[in-house]
Amino acid sequence: MSGSAARAVVIHAPHDLRIDSMPVAAPGPGEVRVKIERGGICGSDLHYYHEGGFGTVRVREPMVLGHEIAGTIEALGPGVTGLAKGQTVAVNPSVNCGQCRFCQAGMPIHCLEMRFYGSAMRFPHVQGGFREAIVCRAEQAVPVAAGAGAEIAAFAEPLAVCLHAIRQAEHVAGARVLVTGCGPIGALTVLAARHAGARQIVVTDVTDAAVAMALKIGADHAFNTAAKADALLPYEKEKGQFDIAFEASGHPAALAGAIAATRPGGRIVQIGVSGTVPIPLNVIVAKEIELKGTFRFYSEFAWAVDLLGSGAINVKPLLTATLPFEQAVDAFKLASDRSKAMKVQLAF
């Protein structure tokens, strides 16, 4: 960053990702300026890069990407207390209005005026965090324990997503758990479920690399269902053996497999997003399965920062590579290759 300008990673159109420069304001009252050091590339960033959006959401103006960001506080606005220059912080990319009926009902995730970094759902788009510096509300900047660097803190956002999923599952302690899909979110869900006391964790994916990663980070069993479609068959015994399934792929076959292997009265937490998919409604009914969507996070962000800072959850095995942000296109290409990459970060 030079003077009061910062360079940023900006999507203009599919496959048109540029490094643009933009002004950085001084932090106002209650705000801080954070020097961004690491930014993790998320699946939605990849969708913007490859397809210009997902579902009905389209990039309609240049938008800074990125919402998995961490860095160092470099300036405090008037009235900010409890933070100090030089602290390493994870930046919560989610800003709710606090006033709407969902905010007042304790459901800020569903805020009617939610502003989420690097999202084209609203217009003008909410600009993202892949930039050399950002000004945000003080409460968005959550300090991580000394010694944990920005590359660890930048996992706070996706880990928070998974901790929120764990909360939706409600009874993970002692449960037999299935995780379908072991990309970054599936893998972090494995770590989070283990942390929450899952008794058994079985993972499926369609790549050998993901299966190997699942075992490396502590899954009890992991299967490549592309190679062996009926790998979960033994778990379908007696109407199903899993108490809880986390569906992190968004693929119909994975969801159908989870439905078949979950016991009557069990719960499937749907994390993976996709469009309209076929599901065996008759099995949902006959086994009284609960299929529950989980979306983003709220109070789990600070919890994630705690767990990363203390090392209670170790995400280092998931970090495939870190590239200078000037090489964002290469980084996005690498992140798109599931046989090689789990999480790819940009360095600022």
Q: Which residues of the chain form contacts with a second copy (CB under 8 A)?
A: 55, 98-99, 101-110, 112, 163, 166-168, 170-174, 195-197, 199, 238-239, 250, 255, 264-265, 270-295, 299-300, 303, 306
CB of residue 75 vs a second copy: minimum separation in angstroms? 26
The residues, any chain, with a CB within 8 Å of residue 2's CB and separated by 6 or more, are none
Copy the structure tokens of residue 106: 């304790």
CB of residue 257 vs a second copy: minimum separation in angstroms? 13
CB of residue 199 vs a second copy: minimum separation in angstroms? 6
Residue 101 sits at φ, ψ, to 5 deg, of: -65, -30
Task: Provide the terminal-to-terminal Cα distance of the chain, rounded to the nearest Å.
Answer: 9
57-63-67-72 Cα dihedral, nearest 10 degrees: -170
**Left (φ > 0), alpha (ψ -120 to 50) or beta: where does 217 sit?**
alpha
The nearer residue to a second copy, 88 or 294, going by C-beta atoms, is 294
CB of residue 285 vs a second copy: minimum separation in angstroms? 4
The nearer residue to a second copy, 78 or 275, going by C-beta atoms, is 275
CB of residue 30 vs a second copy: minimum separation in angstroms? 13
The nearer residue to a second copy, 282 or 339, going by C-beta atoms, is 282
> 95: closest CA among 73, 71, 128?
128
The nearer residue to a second copy, 292 or 340, going by C-beta atoms, is 292
The nearer residue to a second copy, 196 or 209, going by C-beta atoms, is 196
Cα angle 241, 264, 214; round to 5: 35
The nearer residue to a second copy, 26 or 277, going by C-beta atoms, is 277
Q: Which residue carries 């109407």 as its tokens?
A: 239
CB 346 within 8 A of CB 131: no
CB of residue 39 vs a second copy: minimum separation in angstroms? 24
Torsion sign across C-alpha atoms 56, 58, 63, 66: positive
